[in-house]
Amino acid sequence: MSVTGGPSRLRVGFVMLHTSPLDVPGTKDAGGMNVVVLAQAEALARAGHAIRIFTRRADPAAAARVELTPGLEVVHIDAGPARLLAKAEHEPVMAEFGAQLAAELAREPADVLHAEHWFSGIAALPVARRTGTPLVQSFHSIAVPEGSALPGERPESPGRLAGERRLAREADALIAVSEAERGTIVADLGGAPERVCVVPLGVDTELFRPCHTRECAERDEWFARGGAAEVIAVGRLHPLKGFDLALDALAAIPAARRPALRIVGAPPPDGDDYARGLHEQAARLGLLGSVAFEGALPRPELAARIRRATLMVVPSHTETFGLVALEAAASGVPVVARAAGGLREAVRDGETGVLVRGDDPREWAAVIAALLDDPERMAAMSRAARAHALGRSWGASAESLLAAYRGLLAARAGAGPVVSDGAAGARATRCG
């Protein structure tokens, strides 16, 4: 990267209104976003930058400021009641949060504000404008346009799509985690292509590692003695994840060659209808002896499960990025995934796994069974997958994010590479 906008030590303010980086992913409202923000923030702090994460106080006992690592601080902002709020309860507190954020920035300015999720963006936008701080927006997930929701999906808050469209127009830079998300931001939200920067997520290749311990040796011996292979599927029990297709595919594999299927994930807080349906489907298909429903797991346990699996399956209808597929790769586990969204980038088709088009369980079954029957191909994929993941560290992800910040600051200063887009010229940017 040759872009050098801004001071050498950047002061970055992450804004994460509705969930705390101190919460454990899988508890409260903490999930993938918490993992991503914390990992990027830590990597930026390690690179010498000064990072604050602004989050709403949901716990009356939490300290006002908590230093997580040198250069990385969590700042709790009082806005609304100091308790956990349901997602929909956040919209009324956005304005109050913005006002308090402005006060924090008045005391201690930031070179860049980076808003996570649209709540944070809408809260931060006026503050950014008033203080002249460039605003970078990450969506994490983007509202499905009306009428295109899957059966069982909750209708979106009406404010969300409008909020996301506004941010796509007004934020100074938009971060996409994949070319697929870039396409969505441009096509569905009207974001200007030259302001969308693709910053792929990273993976913790220490936590997600291939299986070389005594326990795995014991397991491999069991497999060698005729134990069934194990296919793993990871994610919340939500219709978007397509786990019903995985069950149908499993049933389509003849019993003698059938692997076990392990589903790791809990129902989302807003309902367990889909989870109930999966349990019923497994019973109906006679698969209760072949399917494990694991519930949510702490990340170290999740990593342990993935590295013990033979194969991962990702039948999600769409994934913005497909982090679990990258976590499987880091664990040396080949992935069979749907050719959709960011999964097309997360899996190298034929190299680190196989991409499948469509919803035919027999086709999924055939792909899975063929891979399990070909240990040499699996071993080659396992090696390629680990190598692929090793190039996708969080440090690399943070470096790419930094390039986006620098590009923005350079453009602002008129000193760096600017891509003029006419009307929005002063806010134009370019990514790395």
- By the rule CB under 8 A, 194 interacts with a copy of itself: no
- Nearest-approach distance from CB 312 to a copy of itself, in angstroms: 17
Which residue(s) pair with 14 in the sheet? 53, 114
Map the footprint of a copy of itself across residues 237-296, applying CB under 8 A: 237, 260, 262, 266-267, 272, 275-276, 279-280, 282-283, 286, 288-296
Q: What is the DSSP letter of 42?
A: H
Helical spans, DSSP H, in 47-157:
94-107, 117-131
Residue from 7, 70, 298, 391 binding a copy of itself (CB under 8 A): 298
- Nearest-approach distance from CB 150 to a copy of itself, in angstroms: 20
- Nearest-approach distance from CB 292 to a copy of itself, in angstroms: 4
In the chain, % helix, strand, coil (3-state, to 5) comes to 45, 15, 40
- By the rule CB under 8 A, 417 interacts with a copy of itself: no
Which positions from 23 to 62 touch a copy of itself by CB under 8 A, shown as an x/- string? -x--x-----------------------------------
State the residue for tokens 């969300």.
Answer: 160
- Nearest-approach distance from CB 299 to a copy of itself, in angstroms: 8
- By the rule CB under 8 A, 152 interacts with a copy of itself: no
SS3 233: strand
Map the footprint of a copy of itself across residues 303-332, applying CB under 8 A: 304, 308
- Nearest-approach distance from CB 295 to a copy of itself, in angstroms: 4
Map the footprint of a copy of itself across residues 209-228, applying CB under 8 A: 213, 215, 218-219, 222, 225-227
- Both tokens of residue 383? 């090696």
H/E segment holding residue 12:
strand 11-15
For residue 313, how far is the Cα from the chain centroid?
A: 17
Total residues in contact with a copy of itself, by rule CB under 8 A: 39
Checking 123-131 for CB contacts under 8 A at 24+ apart, the result is: 123/15, 123/17, 123/94, 123/95, 123/97, 123/98, 124/15, 124/98, 125/98, 125/166, 125/167, 125/170, 125/171, 126/98, 127/98, 127/101, 127/102, 128/172, 130/102, 131/102, 131/105, 131/106
Contacting positions for a copy of itself (CB under 8 A): 24, 27, 207, 213, 215, 218-219, 222, 225-227, 237, 260, 262, 266-267, 272, 275-276, 279-280, 282-283, 286, 288-296, 298-301, 304, 308
